[in-house]
Structure 1
Amino acid sequence: MKMKKLISMVIAFTLTATSLIGCGSSGGDSKAQGGADSSGKTTLKMAVWDKDKTAYLQPAIDAYKSKDPNVEIELVDISSAEYQDKLSVMLSGGSDDIDLITVKDTPGYSSMVNKKQLEPLDSYISKDEVKLDSYSGTAEQLKVEDKLYALPFRSDFWVLYYNKDLFDKAGIAYPTNDITWTQYEELAKKIASGEGTNRVYGTHDHTWRSTVQLPAVLDGKNTIIQKDYSFLKPFYEMALRMQNDKVMMDYASLKTGSIHYSGVFENNQTAMLPMGTWFMGQLMADKAKGTTNVNWGIVKYPHADSVKPGTTIGTITSLAINSKSSKKDAAWNFLKFFTGEEGAATIAKTGTLPAIKSGDVINTITSQKGFPTDESSKKALETEKTYLEMPVNAKSAAIEVILNEEHDLIMTGSTSVDDGLKELSKRVSEELEK
């Protein structure tokens, strides 16, 4: 009896140990296969900014979940102004709390690549035969030493938004698709009216340095990374002129009040707004919800006299995988969908321009309920040439900090335009020579 009891105990111990080993093995396989929990569900955490102002996020997530209901996408929302700083802190400890990273801009992308925080995607791309030519050259612009660490899902460019009702009320003709910067300033001065809280501004510059700096690179003679920034002077002088004449809101007040451009435009406080095509989706969504009654249209971005209409500045918004994520396979499956043709079709339905563009995609956007019905607005989406806001460069993150700091000093009147641009040239030159 004792021997039988002993054998039974050994068998029970062996089965328990085997079961434990099996569980451990299953957990490891689970991670390799995508990180599913005991219920078969996989939760992926995705870093985004201003999710409530981003019309395409939830529709794209819902479209993916209809294909794979065992995946949950949890959005980690960070404010736009603090996005890269907070994301850097979250990733610096090597944590796998974030699986998918929305890449906001080139400096942030370059910084995360340099810190090895992004997973190289080349093996995934090769295995699943992803066609990079579908992105019309934007994917190649993200290569670092011939490796891709993200794929684009949005490829936006700047246009000029305008408020039709404010122009109609003032009896002034709408801006055209061939508006120059000189005409733009004249039009802004002409339509500005009223006092105090009833003031209608002619135009609105958001606090980003890009609103002032980027128009200066449209002639193709300069880039935003170089050693001499004197070419920015005419555009800083124009911005300060309009600010001093109350043609547009005061930069310092916008900064201290954390005032978002969407509120200014949607509350009918400004007649014009230079901004990216990403704002179209929010406008259509907010009008559908009844949170704004703004009657809007768009035309091509203003241009210098020597530059062809339709020449503009473009941005690439992409999606990457945290190199420390334990759910890389599952993250890739979502990334592939989100940045692919199905994701593009879903994104386009919210009025946002996806990275994969086609005639069907443009028609999808312009036929959306809420998109302006006039031909001028539709023509505004036809571009002549697009320059990147910031080229991929190992020093771009450091240079971005310098550009922002000097922009802030000039726009607040803490330094003169000439002195600010001299200091900007000096600091960037030193950074490039390191």
Structure 2
Amino acid sequence: MRKISRRSFLQAAAVVAGTTALAACGSSSSSSTAASTAASTVSSAAEGTTNLVWTIWDLESTAYWKAMADGYMATHPNVTIEMLDLGSTDYMTVLATQLAGGADIDVLSIKDIPGYANLINLDYLAPMNDVLTRDTADFNGTIEQLTTDDGNFYAVPFRNDFWVLFYNKDLFDAAGVPYPANDLPMEEYDALARQMTSGEGDAKVYGCHYHTWRSCVSLFSILDGENTIVDGTYDFMKPTYDLVLAQQNDGICMDYGYLKTSSLHYSAAFENQQCALLPMGSWFIATLQTYMAEAETPFNWGMVKYPHPANAPAGSTLGTVTSLAINVDSTKAEAAADFINWCVSDEGAKVIAETGTFPACGSEETNAIIRATEGFPADDASAEALNTVAVYLEMPYTQYASDIETILNTEHDAIMTLSETVDEGIQNMNDQVSVILA
């Protein structure tokens, strides 16, 4: 595995430190704010107790951080959790800079795969294979997707967001069309989107909507488990691109170029009832619950399992994880490991679910907790949509994650704006990524 020396990173960090500090000033991401947040979050560890420093982002707006810390400390009175809020802007870069400077940090929150790969390359993370006490099978395949070429995984997911298909019940009722099923192959999904398209101009209702993220389109292709987006060949994406571009050409979904220039957010498209179907992540559930509670004209909505290729089972879906890792230089690694193992235990999962967040090791109990939150759809199909059979990360681990992401995003943009044909875009992906992997 290619490694970047800590000395090299520290030298680079010194060059950008001023910029990072300036970017952080005036927001919750500043080091000074982080320090004061940590100080106000928990008192200094008393004599005879262990104080764990845990890096996080956006403490004030993210309910599960404090819930996890409080839940653990309630049953471990000899441990204090000191949360170091680095802010969400450039969190992984700020974290790497802190570690390069020798900051006293024990537990690290991992926000994304490119940042995870970078910290591994820098030798900042301790292997977790012998640390994790929970069966890796409970993580629904995500541990394997975080495992590196050396056979180790260096972070453990505690939060899992997966994709479902949201739909507007009122629009379906008005059209006299049955609601989508929890087993929806791509061809049936396409037919349903076409059936639900109606109207013209400002009154038009699009059958489906795709946000401008690459994951909203191309990653339907990986749900059969036969391909990944990091192996350097992308011909398997052609059927999905062909399907979505045909929808775009026929006015079944909004034009990608318009969405890019108008910056229309997917939440606005759905909340304004401009689309009947919306493939999106489970984080949107809480957004809709809040919106419907405050909207002057709320509408009825539901969700079903993510559309899937014909050769993939229903419940196959995309996912993103938020993980925990241990600083390889921590002098309190054993205590850090105990905290992480609690976070991914059934007890920890319940605490996370009570904040409306999906834990990485979900269960019927945690799903029931989330279903009981105010505004969650009452129908059985929406409840069943929470049960997944396979979750494929939007970006599985590779040391080249950042470079591959850049190439795929660039070519996705070119394909969706018709600047390139599907064949041209895929060939460019194949050519450019193969150079990186060589």
| TM-score normalised per structure 2 | 0.75
* Pairwise CA RMSD: 3.6
Q: For 1:188, what is the secondary structure of its paired residue?
A: helix
1:77 maps to 87
Equivalent residue in structure 2 for 1:118, among 125, 128, 143? 125
Partner of 2:284: 279
Matched, 1:46 2:50: no
- Kept in 1: contact 2:56–2:83 (CA 8 A): no
The answer to whether residue 317 in structure 2 is matched with residue 307 in structure 1 is no
Q: 1:56 to 1:205 in 2, by over 3 A?
A: farther
Aligned position for 2:381: 376
Assess, with a 3 A threshold, how the Cα gap between structure 1 residues 136 and 180 changes in structure 2: closer, same or farther: closer
> Residue 175 of structure 2 corresponds to which residue in structure 1?
170
Tell me if structure 2 keeps the 8 A contact 1:161–1:275: yes
> Is 1:424 the equivalent of 2:434?
no
Q: Residues 38 and 369 (structure 1 numbering): CA distance in 2 closer, same or farther, change over 3 Å?
A: closer
Q: Who is 1:408 aligned against?
A: 413
Structure 2 CA distance for partners of 1:111 and 1:290, relative to 1, 3 Å: same
Moved more, 91-100 or 104-113: 91-100
In percent, how many aligned pairs have the same letter? 43
Could you tell me whether the CA contact under 8 Å between 1:285 and 1:350 is conserved in 2? no
Cα distance in 1 for residues equivalent to 2:316 and 2:353: 22
Asked whether the 8 Å contact 1:96–1:324 carries over to 2, the reply is: no
* Residue of structure 1 equivalent to 2:147: 143
Deviations 1:272-314 (A, max 9, x none): 1112233324433554566993422111211233433333333
CA distance in 1 between partners of 2:141 and 2:383 (Å): 23
Indicate if the aligned counterparts of 2:55 and 2:85 stay in contact, CA closer than 8 A.
yes
Q: Partners of 1:171 and 1:133 in 2: how far apart?
A: 42
Unaligned runs of 5+ in 2: 1-41
CA shift in 2, pair 1:50/1:417, >3 Å: farther
**Equivalent residue of 1:293, what SS?**
coil
Whether contact under 8 Å (1:44, 1:100) holds in the other structure is yes
Counterparts of 2:57 and 2:286 in 1: how far apart (Å)?
16
Gaps of 5+ in 1: 1-34
CA drift of 1:374 comes to 1.2
Stretch of structure 1 that moved more, 278-287 or 398-407: 278-287
Give the aligned length. Answer: 392
Offset of residue 109 of structure 1: 1.9
Deviation at 1:344? Answer: 0.7
Q: CA deviation at 1:393?
A: 2.6
User: Structure 2 CA distance, aligned partners of 1:140 and 1:223?
Assistant: 13
Contact 1:153 1:354 in 2 (8 A): yes
CA distance in 1, matches of 2:418, 2:104: 42
Structure-to-structure mapping, 1:260-275, within 5 angstroms: 260-275=265-280
Residues 198/320 of structure 1: CA separation in 2 closer, same or farther (3 Å cut): farther
Whole-angstrom CA distance in 2 between matches of 1:289 and 1:99:
41
* Corresponding residue number in structure 1 for 2:370: 365
Q: Contact 1:46 / 1:73 at 8 angstroms: preserved in 2? A: yes
Partner Cα separation in structure 1 for residue 221 and residue 275 of structure 2: 23
Counterpart residue number, 1:356: 361
1:238-292 Cα offsets, whole Å, 9 max, x none, are 2223334443233334344554433433343322111223332443355456699
Change (3 A) 1:188 1:135: closer
Letter matched to residue 143 of structure 1: T
Q: Summarize the Cα distance change of 1:230–1:197 in structure 2 as closer, same or farther, 3 Å threshold.
A: same
In 2: Cα distance, 1:73 partner to 1:392 partner:
26
Q: Give, in whole Å, the separation in 2 of the partners of 1:294 and 1:97.
A: 49
